[in-house]
Amino acid sequence: MKAAVMYQQNEMPQYIDFPEPIAQNEDEVLVRVKAVAIKHFDKGQASGKHYSSAAPGEKGKVVGGDGVCLLEDGTRVYAMGVSGMLAEKAIVEKRRIVPLPRELDDATAAALPNAVIGAAMGLRFKAGIQPGDVVLINGATGFTGRVAVQIAKYYGAKKVIATGRNQQSLNDLLALGADEIISVKQEDESFKAQLKTIHAQTPIDVVIDYLWGHTAEIILASLKGDGGFTNRVRYVSVGSMAGDLIQLSAANLRSVDLQLTGSGLGAWSKQQVGLVFTEILPEMFQLAAAGKLKVETVTVKLEDIAELWKLDVADGKRLVVTVG
């Protein structure tokens, strides 16, 4: 079969012939792959730079962790792979399969899950979002951030505040449900003052942070209390596009009712991960099929993967590889 394979000595996958994977037990099944989205997570895992993965060996490994595929009987599903998914065929776990609505196209179905997981898991299980909450999404102009804005509103957020660098992308978020937008490109003091004003008028209940780094320092500083009573703020780190480390004042932790946590592989319980496949993804696929959850994709072909692996995709869009 043809596949996109990463080797230790290369910085990008190669489109080559590769042995067809074989199911190892009755819980696994061979599928024919239709579409796979390329995320930062996939690139990190493929190179061994993500904390959940090892570097590729001399024999190489097929990249891609999930996608849209066909079961033997022709049923179209979304599935997470046991083997790499950027190939004509892959092995998936039967318990990590979600049937897809007929109205939902392959590219959208492939692009949504990672973003849904990156948004819904933090909102539901780490922040415990409640109807009426005020939600700040830091780094909302990316694909996952755009999905997070829409899901936060769907989960009942009274107000969604979105931050980002690209002003046009920020403006676009207003049409997707954001109530207020803030540029992170402004001076630190202006950014902080804008956040403090918003927090004073409509206290922020939840922060979903895809950037971390210096922007997180400013947000946390803007939430700092002065000794009076404060509302409870649930701050959830999901990504670190602006840097992996921050400086955090102890006064930040003592002066506000702050819950600081993360959402990612290893931070969720088995039960919560199970709900991804039985509740969360089926619900979001239906919303997308009905046009109530909107995303944009850029599609490319598997045979062009080596040239397109590092393709810069416009803010808010997801690169999706079609197979066959």
Closest residue by Cα to residue 46 from 313, 310, 314: 310
In a domain, 139, yes or no: yes
- Where residue 160 sits, what CATH number does that domain have? 3.40.50.720
Angle between helix axes 143-154 and 106-121 (nearest 10 degrees) is: 70
Mean pLDDT for 59-82 is 94
- Tell me the pLDDT tens digit for each residue of 204-225: 999 999 999 999 999 999 999 9
- Tell me the pLDDT tens digit for each residue of 83-119: 999 999 999 999 999 999 999 999 999 999 999 999 9
Let me know whether 81 and 192 are in one domain. Answer: no
In a domain, 63, yes or no: yes
- Tell me the pLDDT tens digit for each residue of 173-182: 999 999 999 9
Token pair belonging to 76: 């179209």
**Phi, psi (rounded to 5 degrees) for 242:** -100, 5
- Tell me the pLDDT tens digit for each residue of 121-172: 999 999 999 999 999 999 999 999 999 999 999 999 999 999 999 999 999 9
pTM of the complete model beyond 0.85: yes
> Domain residues for 158?
130-262
- Over its C-alpha atoms, the chain yields an Rg (Å, rounded) of 20
In a domain, 241, yes or no: yes
Let me know whether 255 and 134 are in one domain. Answer: yes
User: 45 and 65 in contact (C-beta within 8 Å)?
Assistant: yes
Let me know whether 143 and 258 are in one domain. Answer: yes
Mean pLDDT for 19-26 is 95
- Where residue 108 sits, what CATH number does that domain have? 3.90.180.10
Q: What band does 46 get if pLDDT is binned at 50, 70 and 90? A: low
Amino acid at 137: I
In this predicted structure, what is the pLDDT of residue 39? 84
**Which of helix, strand or coil describes residue 54?**
coil
pLDDT > 50? residue 50: no
Domain boundary pick from 247, 262, 277: 262
In a domain, 121, yes or no: no
Structural domain count, the chain? 2
**Phi, psi (rounded to 5 degrees) for 62:** -75, 135
Let me know whether 105 and 139 are in one domain. Answer: no
Mean pLDDT for 69-92 is 96
Let me know whether 26 and 101 are in one domain. Answer: yes
In a domain, 267, yes or no: no
pLDDT > 70? residue 66: yes
Let me know whether 134 and 230 are in one domain. Answer: yes
